Amino acid sequence: MRCLVRRVSSAAVRVEDEVVGKIGQGLLVYLGVQAGDRAEDVDWLIKKLIGLRLFSDSDGKMNESLPDEGGILVISQFTLLGSLKKGCRPSFNRAAEPAEAKRLYQEFLSKLRTERNGMVAQGAFGKHMRIEAMDDGPVSIWLDSRQKAY
């Protein structure tokens, strides 16, 4: 399982013309599910995500995790698993099949909502989405449950 985490001042996701998820200050998380991912991958990513210290302390250093009043917006994005090993057109054969990816995406959301005090918003799995985000920093971090040394 792989995710790109961005610190944002605000973010919203639309499907067609309807806002389906939005947050103020917080984390915008793009989540890709890889073939073979399991519950252990979900648990590892959630622990890391909740513990990320990407917010400033009183000295202005990134030393604080997301405050309870901050939000997390999770967007499914299989393209995070794209490979350009054989040319310029990405191959997505490492991505999980849609049914399994959706199951693990929903498990991720459910566990995140259980583990975290605060808002967790989401996009619409498998839909074309338009994401609006105001980066704060910018601060972007990769998390990968198979390459934990990222």
Q: What residues act catalytically? A: 77-79
Cα(128)–Cα(118) distance, rounded to whole angstroms? Answer: 26
Describe the crossing of helices 98-115 and 39-51 by its angle, rounded to 10 degrees: 40
Cα(45)–Cα(10) distance, rounded to whole angstroms? Answer: 22
Q: Which residues contact 134 (CB under 8 A, 6 or more apart)?
A: 8, 9, 10, 11
CA dihedral angle for residue 114, residue 133, residue 65, residue 141, rounded to 10 degrees: 100
Cα(52)–Cα(42) distance, rounded to whole angstroms? Answer: 15
